[in-house]
Each structure stands twice: as structure tokens, then as C-alpha cells.
Amino acid sequence: MFIEVNSANRKAGWIEVVCGSMFSGKTEELIRRLRRAQIANQQVEIFKPALDTRYSQDAIVSHNQNSIRSTPVTSARQILMLASGVEVVGIDEAQFFDEGLVEVARELANRGLRVIIAGLDMDYRGVPFGPMPALLATAEFVTKVHAICQRCGSLANYSYRLAEQDQRILLGEKSDYEPRCRRCYHLEAVEVKQKNEGVEVKQKNE
């Protein structure tokens, strides 16, 4: 479990990233860290992209209904303006932000803030998601959390999309995605490919 570094020197900021697949507990971990900071009477602000309005306009809500008040923003730059006088900044669903979030996180940390970022590391195709790769590279602390594969019970790090839509952003509901391990994620992909190829071959012969 992540233990906060000794921050006696309050002039130094840093960046923490919590990443993983859907249902891996990223948001719960973000909320846990932010709550601890709040209990310590630190000035905390939480931001999320305005498009993530699955459950609530102004709260981060994790899948287990644990929630904490947050401010929706339409661009990463907005966070810079809204974070004045703040000691700890939490950012949820970071994968949906523009690439500007990387510079924003660096600037906040350079100002002396603790920046805690949670997001999906990969999209449903297994491709690194938005600003996440650069955030992972520039953070002092990285925590990768895992779900449990819904097929075999192994550790899962992929978000397998059950819904047949191919836009990158499909806000996650339990019925749209399932966490899968590497093996089960790729097995399915191969099965689908073979099925599609089978259909093509059949059509050619007709």
C-alpha cells in the first residue's frame, strides 16, 4: 500500500499516478489518499474531465459508491487557475484529458503541490490512453492496480469491451466492459478474428 512520503519540506511538490484497467480500484485508491490528506487538514481540490458525468456532476464516484466532491473542468489548463491556495490536487479519469495535463501536473508539482492522478493506462484496444504514458514517465510515484479477470480469476490489466462500439471513449458501466488478464483478453481477440476470417472465406466461396 502506498504510504505518503515525509513531506516536512512543504516546498517540494511531487506527482503520484494510480493507473490500471477498469474495475481495478484506481478511484478508490485516489479517494483514500485524498481523504487522508483532508483528515490532516491539508487544502485539497479534486478535478475531473467535464465529460465524465456517469453518476454525478460534481463528485468523483467510484464503482462502489464511495464519493468525494470534485470540480468538472473542460481543459487541463483550467486546473492551474483553480488550484491556487491548494496543497493537494487530485485528478480523476486523467486519460480523458488533453495532453496539456502533463505540463499542468509538472507546473503544479514545481509550485510545491502534491499531485495525485488516477486514470486508465490503456484503452479497450490495449493502447496507452491519452496523456497517461507521459504522466507515468514524469511522476515520482507510480502505482499500478489490478482487477481480477472475469474469465479465469488471474490478475487483470485489460479492459475488454463487451459493447460493439468502436469509439475510444465509451463511459464505463459494468455491462460494457469486463476486466481480463492478458491471456483471456488476447484469446478472445483471436477467436473473433478467426470467426471474421471464417465468414469472409465462406462469402468468397459463395
Q: How far is the CB of 181 from Zn ion (least distance, A)?
A: 3
Please pick, among 45, 87, 93, 178, the residue that the annotation labels catalytic: 93
Q: How far is the CB of 126 from Zn ion (least distance, A)?
A: 14
In this structure, how many other beta carbons lie within 10 angstroms of the beta carbon of residue 193? Answer: 10
| Interface segment toward Zn ion; rule CB under 5 A; list 54-62, 93-101, 132-140, 154-162 | 154-162
What distance in Å separates the CA atoms of residue 185 and residue 199, rounded to the nearest whole number?
22
78 belongs to the binding site for Zn ion (CB under 5 A): no
151 belongs to the binding site for Zn ion (CB under 5 A): yes
Nearer to Zn ion, 51 or 152 (CB): 152
Residue 93 annotated among the catalytic residues of the structure: yes
In this structure, how many other beta carbons lie within 10 angstroms of the beta carbon of residue 15? Answer: 23
Burial category of 144 from C-beta neighbours within 10 Å (exposed 0-12, middle 13-18, buried 19 and up): middle
Q: How far is the CB of 75 from Zn ion (least distance, A)?
A: 37
Nearer to Zn ion, 168 or 186 (CB): 186
Which grid cell is 200?
469472409
Q: Which residues in the 91-150 window bind Zn ion by CB under 5 A? A: 149
What distance in Å separates the CA atoms of residue 40 and residue 24, rounded to the nearest whole number?
26
C-alpha closest to that of 66 among 33, 105, 43: 33
| Interface segment toward Zn ion; rule CB under 5 A; list 52-60, 140-148, 161-169, 175-183 | 175-183
What distance in Å separates the CA atoms of residue 25 and residue 177, rounded to the nearest whole number?
15
184 belongs to the binding site for Zn ion (CB under 5 A): yes
Are 140 and 15 a contacting pair, CB within 8 Å? yes
152 belongs to the binding site for Zn ion (CB under 5 A): yes
186 belongs to the binding site for Zn ion (CB under 5 A): no
For the chain, the first-to-last Cα distance in angstroms comes to 59
Q: Of 154, 155, 170, 189, which lies in the binding site for Zn ion, with binding defined by CB under 5 A?
A: 154
| Binding stretches for Zn ion (CB under 5 A) | 149, 151-152, 154, 181, 184
Catalytic residues: 93
